[in-house]
Chains A and B, each alone.
Chain A
Amino acid sequence: MAVISIERMGLLSVVCVSLFFSSTFAVDRGNFKTCDQSAFCKRQRALKPGQSPYRALLETLELSDSRLTLQLINDNNKVHLLLELYRLQGNMTRVKINELKPLKPRFEVPDVLIAEPPTEPLSVLSKDDNGVVLSLGAENQRLIVSARPFRLDIMEGPEVLLSLNSRGLLAFEHLRLHKDTQAQADGAEVKESVDGDQQQDEGKKDEDGESEKEEDGLWEETFKSHTDTKPNGPTSISLDFSLPGVEHVYGIPEHADDLKLKTTDGGDPYRLYNLDVFQYELYNPMALYGSIPVMLAHNTQRTMGIFWLNAAETWVDISSNTAGKTVFGKMLDFVQGSSEKPQTDVRWISESGIIDVFIMLGPKPSKVFSQYASLTGTQSFPPLASLGYHQCRWNYNDQEDVKSVDQGFDQHDIPYDFIWLDIEHADGKRYFTWDPHKFPQPKEMLQGLMDKRRKMVSIVDPHIRVDSGYKIHNEITSKDFYVKNKDGKNYEGWCWPGNSGYPDFTKPEMRAWWASMFAYDQYEGSMENLFTWNDMNEPSVFNGPEVTMHKDALHGKWEHRDIHNIYGLYVQMATAEGQIQRSGGVERPFVLTRAFFAGSQRYGAVWTGDNAAEWDHLKISIPMCLSLGLVGVSFCGADVGGFFKNPSTELLVRWYQTGAYQPFFRAHAHLDTTRREPWLFGPENTALIREVIRQRYALLPYWYQLFYQAHKTGMPVMRPLWVDYPKDTATFTIDDEFLIGSDLLVHPVTEEGSRGVTAYLPGAEEVWYDVHTFQKHNGAQNLYIPVTLSSIPVFQRGGSIIPRKDRVRRSSTCMENDPYTLYVALSPKKFAEGELYIDDGHSFNYDTKKEFIHRSLTFANNALTSSNLCPDCNFLTSSWIEKVLILGASKPSKVLLKMDGKETPVDFEFDTSMSVLTLRKPGMNAGADWTLLLQYQRYFQC
């Protein structure tokens, strides 16, 4: 939740009320800047492609083992820049550009990279006056540095993979003294608004009076009633990237838009600036709650990534030479052998900091994921229970309410793991406290949930009520941990509690203190089954510019301008650390965040913020989470049912059906909506919702294993089809269906009154089994599936083995020792493989003590074998294999279980109509080595 309800905000200033009042039913675009209203974006965007004024000074080249440095000069203003090139392990190149001698240091984003990335040696292949050719190690890859004008090209063989500054849009606004204070010496030289302005000649007529006006946004900028004093003047940076042969680019979340990024010609660029957007609109490039400055480029040959490590406000322009061409036009080009290769051009613009870019060269999608993971880390491995169903509402009113909702789930036999408390649970929005009337006995409540093996989440937001009777505020004040305003006083803004301070989470000491507040003796009323939700951490400031913090606020010596997009990451980081510490480092944390940045995947889950109960919002949840998955954040979900407004029953049911197949599965609703617990819509709909939540729970072993994989390798859990079918162009723009891992294909029904959906089943070699009927379908086809309200089109890939726990209970914890059923879906070649991962579900012992079971399951040559992927692991489970379903099998004459040197016959049944072989109760322990052998007698075969 995150919306102002005027009724509740008695303390809210009139200014703030008027700010929100007009925006009752849709985003008030006027509250947020366009590129034109953001001075640096406007300046930078006014630059058009052309010859770059930058020149590489090759004589300054220095090559150490792993690093090449070189000076660049802007021939227009003679400012020197320093270029650093690194060859990183795992087929990546890092390009850093900073001022050679800045007036004072420029901000470089800390705490995002998990370590200084390990390098590999660079070597110079050739060098002349025009440039330098460097070897990028294996695979015939070279990096070419051209001197005049400066540009970089990464080649593989004869092909250019990626070029930097090929359109001459490198622009670096160097730090300068304010015109009032600087010596008037060479006034003529500082007129250009952007250092790299190669159009200076054309622009000469703009001199004098007019250029003074143009400089308006340089030292001060006003938006609505807010003035941004810019004591450092203009500091923005920009660089262009050209991607020959690329027509599809993805990523740079968070935007409520399609999976495939659109060209931005004629409109605004995609904006990355963490903002609390009230009732956001769909299908546009406006900024939302989080920012991950990572873009993937994909074609049938290669997948690459660009990671622009900058935490300031950032805009990304995308253009394409094929955009606007029709399919027919493209075909014509092909037939006529058009010389023009498709190309996508991308331009990044940030307000401050330095240029620090990581180029991930793939070439496979999985390789890009591991490359990015090697830089910023992988998805944290969540507690198993957090993959279950979450029941949230703004607000569960009191302990009684919590109890009766909890009982409602049992009465209606619907499983759930977490019930959530929004802001009303705290005493006057003082986080870490409980409302003494509504929640007088939090421990009693938590114990009640624990008795049911369930858990709770309470919200802890980063705005702190300014109140001398509030311990948290007093401690932060006395430790001087608040963010400061430009005058050095504590920054204060309006948020839920009224006047609030904002702790400076960029300070490690502050984060350590914050973490310590989650100790059981500090956070009174908390217990080990209480987890945390960080909302409003963009940060949201109701009366601030664009509902966030003033850019000239200070975090130590850095401006908020420099760190804005990483603030939310720090909040979640400190909170997750607090949860780890309270258990003595034993238990895994669970923290949900709304704001995020590159690296946030390491700290927990993300949701898509305050959506609405509308069909389009249900649809957009798919591309929004897919985009996040591509750039590291696997644990993503949208509010099931939609946050604002009341969903129709059909929409609610469809949303449950979709959400159950997305990683983070939480229903949530605004304070002003009517109650919508799953049993409030009549027995038929209760049954539909129960059924889909049960499907989710049955698949928890698969989800858990995929999160383990994501944690280990960086592979996204919820994926676009092209990730697994990178050569199938038909998959490149699909974002109404998706894969969970490689083996489940989901096409949710997201249309009102739908009677059927057309799902694309990828892979010419593949077969897909309907998970409900076991009917087999061939790959590489568009399959029309008639649907009713109970239908959820889900398919299991032939060639895969998915372990399920079909005994669904009240909560995931209750299912801990339950047996598995293996769903073996045979490929056309009668082959299948899968994995089984088991641990205690909640501690770090899998990591610290290797206490887990990781097994490979293979079906080949009529034998299903479980073998150990981690022989030195050590974990005992009482779970066993109760059933094996083999889809696409033929009927054997005999089935034998080979285990411990013994062979025992296994009962089986065979369903001829769907060719499903069911092995009855083979009974082996899930951690054991075993083989199930299907025997066929020749005689009966023909």
Chain B
Amino acid sequence: MTCLHLLLTLVFAVSLGTPVEIQRPRGVPLTKKQFYEEGKPFTCLDGSRTIPFDRVNDDYCDCKDGSDEPGTAACPNGSFHCTNAGYRPMFIPSSRINDGICDCCDTTDEYNSGAKCENTCKELGRKEREVLQKMAEITKEGFLLKQQLIEEAKKGREEKQGKVTDMQENKKQLEEKVEALRTVKEAAEQPEKEAKERHLKAWEEQKAAIRLEKDKAKMAEAFLELDDNSDGFVSVSELQSHAELDPDADGTLTETEVQGLMGGAAQVDTSTFESVWTNIKDKYHSESQPEEPAPVETPPDEVKEPAVDNDSEPYPEDDISEEDDEDEDDKDDYHEDDDKAPPTVKTPEKSHEDEEAMPPYDPDTQALIEAAQKARDDFEDSEKALRVMDDQIRNIEKELSFDFGPDAEFTYMYSQCYELSTSEYIYRLCPFNRVSQKPKYGGSETNLGIWGSWSGPENNKYLVMKYEHGTGCWQGPNRSTTVKLTCGKETVVTSTSEPSRCEYLMEFTTPAVCQEPANTEPSPHGHEEL
């Protein structure tokens, strides 16, 4: 078998509907036709050697660059040109000629393999035109949307910058106000403190007097009880009947012990009983109310000053972290708490020592307290307002610091999230923030990376987003996600995959990457070379 194939083939090409016949060796593009002149020696395109023309496309590789065999598979580095009339012309490696696989839609690559190829160029051309047209429409609309986005972003940015400036101004005023209110508060608290102290001191004195009174009454009562024979004296024997007074607690109250208690006297009268009373009052059991526990040990001092002080602890300090997310409403909650708290604290003390409860502040003091409280509230409110404003400024400044693209066209995605639901998971892309994955049917969310950087190709880094340092993988790296952006009318996550373990890939369409259409009339099917 010699396998000599046709040296030349007629190439029919279609241009503007007019068929034209051009003769050239198989696989040669029109642009190179001039190098293949029939009947004349052929010089390899790299100039390495010259061969007779009948060795062009003779299925044997003579030229190192493969240029003598554009239409056969003889050279390892050759390339074959298919005209693909109706579609796009293309080059394929010459190793794909007659390999049984249809590569060129005009079937010209399979001229001797037995492969049954159909000419699909028209169909492909039509489809491509449709696709291109669609793409063009999308690009066009997308680009318009992008312009809007840019406009909005610009406006938004100006607004925000203006807002920041305004807020900086307001902040200054607010700071001054805080300082002023601090002075007011401090000024109001001084008289409040003094008045409260005064009130307290008076109360202490009053309490001491009452206690003394009570003790005296008790002593008199005891004397009467002890003086069994009512002779106006309490004798050793009379005292000895009270075993509980035994100083060494050995169960017997001896005469000597009693004498000790009585300071050596054999009997005491009401006037001298006072010194004996001091020795025994702690242990003495009244005969009429033998079971009464001695209330002496209860510490009344600790229950003074109820509730009021609590208010001086400023609640907000504990809650700063939550304030970021929460609004003014919370304030009301705190106030409610303030109102409720004191009664719950007061109640138990009242029941025990009702008669010892501090009398209410006198109207003057009460007025001072109320004035001070108001000054405190005003101060705290203004301080909180300052903090809120600070946060707002910081947030806006953070937002303004992001690279939202050359024309800030990606600004609109900020603080948005886009979800894609697959069979197993819900993927969530929050641009400039994070990517996460949550199992559809229960289970906790996995962090697939937090915003890292733009990392597209050099000519346009805004085509790829990189999210890094997500949840760590077992025996592997931290999860990371690459987000590829393509032009689309809508902002949608179109697919996700995990090409390598823990390295995710997300496809994301957005008008923000739509390029300006090249010209108003794109020619969808590149004109053939004829």
* Interface residues in chain A, defined as those with a beta carbon under 8 Å from any beta carbon in chain B: 5-7, 24, 397-398, 400-401, 413, 437, 451-453, 671-675, 694, 806-810, 813-819, 878, 880, 882-883, 920-921, 923-925
Contacts and interface: CB of A to CB of B under 8 A. Distances in A.
Contact of A808 (B59, B95, B100, B502): B95
Interface string B29-69: 00000000000000000000000000000111000000000
A815 B100 CA distance: 9
22 contacts: A5-B475, A24-B475, A397-B498, A398-B497, A400-B497, A401-B497, A401-B499, A452-B101, A453-B101, A672-B473, A672-B502, A674-B503, A675-B500, A808-B76, A810-B95, A814-B99, A817-B98, A819-B59, A882-B59, A920-B60, A921-B58, A923-B3
Main secondary structure of the interface of A (DSSP, over half): loop
Interface string B1-32: 11100000000000000000000000000000
B93 A413 contact: yes
Nearest to A5: B474
A396 B116 CA distance: 31
Contacts of A413: 93, 95
B73 A809 contact: yes
B95 A809 contact: yes
B423 interface: yes
A807 B1 contact: no
B501 interface: yes
Contacts of A810: 95-96, 99, 101
Contacts of B60: 882-883, 920-921
B125 to A, nearest CB: 21
A411 to B, nearest CB: 11
B424 interface: yes
A851 B421 CA distance: 55
Contacts of B424: 437
Nearest to B424: A437
A882 B59 CA distance: 9
A35 B503 CA distance: 44
B74 A807 contact: yes
Interface string B79-113: 00000000000000101101111000000000001
Task: Among B474, B501, B502, B503, find the residue whose CB has the most chain A CB atoms closer than 10 A.
Answer: B501
Contacts of B423: 437
Contact of A673 (B2, B113, B501): B501
Contacts of B74: 807, 882
A672 B475 contact: yes
Contact of B500 (A674, A878, A925): A674
Contact of A813 (B98, B100, B501, B502): B100
B497 A397 contact: yes
Given A397-B498, A400-B497, A672-B476, A880 B101 contact: no
B474 A6 contact: yes
A5 B93 CA distance: 42
B99 A809 contact: yes
A819 B3 contact: yes
Contacts of B1: 878, 880, 923-925
Contacts of A674: 500-501, 503
Contacts of A401: 497, 499
A516 B25 CA distance: 54
A810 B1 CA distance: 25
Contacts of B503: 674
A672 B502 CA distance: 8
A908 B95 CA distance: 25
A413 B93 CA distance: 8
Contacts of A453: 99-101
B497 to A, nearest CB: 6
Contacts of A817: 98, 113
Given A810-B96, A923-B3, 16 more contacts: A6-B474, A397-B498, A397-B499, A401-B497, A401-B499, A452-B101, A453-B99, A672-B476, A672-B501, A694-B76, A810-B95, A880-B1, A880-B3, A882-B59, A921-B58, A925-B1
A139 to B, nearest CB: 50
Contacts of A807: 73-74, 76, 95
Contacts of A452: 101
A941 to B, nearest CB: 28
Nearest to A878: B1
B499 A675 contact: yes
A804 B59 CA distance: 17
Closest 7 CB pairs of A and B: A814-B99, A437-B423, A921-B60, A925-B1, A674-B500, A675-B500, A7-B474
A691 to B, nearest CB: 11
A675 B505 CA distance: 13
B501 A671 contact: yes
Contacts of B59: 819, 882, 921
Contacts of A694: 76
Nearest to B423: A437
Task: Among A437, A671, A809, A920, find the residue whose CB has the most chain B CB atoms closer than 10 A.
Answer: A809
Contact of B76 (A7, A400, A806, A813): A806
Nearest to B502: A672
A877 B164 CA distance: 82
B248 to A, nearest CB: 67
B504 to A, nearest CB: 11
B496 to A, nearest CB: 11
Contacts of A920: 60
A7 B424 CA distance: 16
A923 B100 contact: no
A6 B472 CA distance: 14
